[in-house]
Amino acid sequence: MTEALVQVENLSRYYQNHCAIKHLSFNLEAGEVLGFLGPNGAGKSTTMQIISGNLAPSEGEVSIAGHDILEAPRAAKQHLGYLPEHPPVYRDSSVDEYLKFCARLHRVPRGQLGTASDRVKQQCGLETVGGRLIGNLSKGYQQRVGIAQAIIHDPPVVILDEPTVGLDPIQIREIRDLIRSLGSQRSVILSTHILSEVQATCDRVQIIRAGELIYHASIESLNQRRETSIRVALRKTIKIEQLSSLQGVDHVDSLEDGRYRLFFAPDSSPDALVAAAAQQEWGLYELIPEQQSLEDLFIELTQDEEANAI
C-alpha cells in the first residue's frame, strides 16, 4: 500500500480556552478529491491553515508527501499548493508578473518561469488576460489567478479553501469545472460549506461540526444514506401499528386526512404495503415516493452547530 499524500493525525487547535478543532485524523490519497464540508465557523479554515503550514497546531501532526509540515516545512510545501479563502493576489501587478513572481517563490528554475506561467494560464483559462492588472479583473478571474498561483510549481496536493465564495452562478460553474480538471491530475482538498460544491467535484466527503469530524464516506455512500419514504393516503382508518409491522418498514408518521408517511429500510420496496392494502381493502388511492434531500441530511448532521458555537 502506498503512503497517503496527506496524513493528519490527532490534530487540535486551541485559542485560549476555545477549541477550534479537536482530534482530527484523516488521509488524502493520490488522485483523490476530498470535500471538507461544514457550516461556517465549524473549523474548516483553521484546519486548512494548519495543513498548509500557515498555523501551528496545538496538538497533532501533519505530513505532506512524507514530510512533516513542522519539522521539514520547505520540503512539505514544495509538494503543496494552497488557495486561502481570500486569494493572495497583488492587484497592482499584471497576471503574468504575479505568476512569475509566485513561480520564483516556489523555486521554479529561472529558465522555466515562462513555461510554468503559460502552463497554468492555459489550465486556468487565463491566456487572454496575461497582460491585464489583476485589480481590473472580475472576481471569477481573480479566483482563477489564485488557483493558478497554487499550482504554478506543479504540486501533487492542492488545498482550496472556499474557492467559489462571492462568485455568480456562471463563475461558480467555471470554477467547479476547473476543480474537476485539477482532480484528474493531482490530489485536492476542497473546503466549503456548500453541499452542491462537494457533490459536483469530490470523490469523498468529510463533515466537520464544532471542530470535530462527524461523518466521512464516499459521495456515493452519502447519496445512499438519504432516507427513503413513501406518503400514502387510505380511505379506511387503520392503526399505525398495522403499517409499522409491514415488511421493510422502519417507522410510520401519521399525517392529516388519512395520510401516512412510511420510512423504509435501505433497498426495501412498498410491495408488502400494496399487497396488504389490496387484501384488507384499505382503500389505497395515493402513493408518492419521497427522498430526503442531501441538504436535509447535511442539516440533520450539523444541526447542533448553533448550540455548540460560541
* Cα–Cα dist 293/26, whole Å: 26
Asked if 233 and 257 touch (Cβ cutoff 8 Å), the reply is: yes
Please calculate the CA angle 103-107-113 and round it to the nearest 5 degrees. 40
Position 1 scores a pLDDT of 42
- The answer to whether residues 91 and 35 belong to one domain is yes
Q: Is 298 part of a structural domain of the chain? A: no
Q: Is 305 part of a structural domain of the chain? A: no
* Cα–Cα dist 121/236, whole Å: 67
Q: What are the residues facing 158 on neighbouring strands?
A: 81, 188
- The answer to whether residues 152 and 286 belong to one domain is no
Q: Is 17 part of a structural domain of the chain? A: yes
Q: Is 304 part of a structural domain of the chain? A: no
Asked if 83 and 61 touch (Cβ cutoff 8 Å), the reply is: no
User: Tell me, what CATH number does 254's domain have?
Assistant: 3.30.70.100
Which residues, 6+ apart, have CB-to-CB distance to 169 below 8 Å? Answer: none
Position 307 scores a pLDDT of 42
Asked if 78 and 156 touch (Cβ cutoff 8 Å), the reply is: no
- The answer to whether residues 188 and 267 belong to one domain is no
- Domain range for 258: 227-291
- The answer to whether residues 124 and 31 belong to one domain is yes
Q: Is 185 part of a structural domain of the chain? A: yes
- The answer to whether residues 149 and 260 belong to one domain is no
Domains of the chain: total: 2
- The answer to whether residues 136 and 212 belong to one domain is yes
Q: What angle, rounded to 10 degrees, do the helices at 95-105 and 139-151 form?
A: 30
Q: Is 306 part of a structural domain of the chain? A: no
User: Tell me, what CATH number does 162's domain have?
Assistant: 3.40.50.300
- The answer to whether residues 174 and 26 belong to one domain is yes
Q: Which of 239, 227, 236, 230 is nearest to 271 (CA)?
A: 230
Residue 230, amino acid: I
Q: pLDDT per position in the chain (310 positions), as tens?
A: 456 899 999 999 999 999 999 999 999 998 899 999 988 889 999 999 999 999 999 999 999 999 999 999 999 999 999 999 888 899 999 999 999 999 999 999 999 999 999 999 999 999 999 999 999 999 999 999 999 999 999 999 999 999 998 888 888 898 999 888 888 888 999 999 888 888 888 999 999 999 999 988 888 777 666 667 889 999 998 888 999 999 888 889 888 888 998 888 766 778 888 999 999 999 999 998 876 666 777 777 777 544 444 3
Sheet holding 67-68: strands in order across? 18-28, 6-15, 59-64, 67-68
Q: How many CA atoms lie within 13 A of 281 on its CB side?
A: 0
The β-bridge relationship of strands 157-161 and 80-83 is: parallel
What pTM was computed for the model? 0.78
Q: Which helix (H) or strand (E) holds 119?
A: helix 113-124
Residue 15, amino acid: Y
Q: Is 154 part of a structural domain of the chain? A: yes
Position 299 scores a pLDDT of 79
Q: Is 252 part of a structural domain of the chain? A: yes
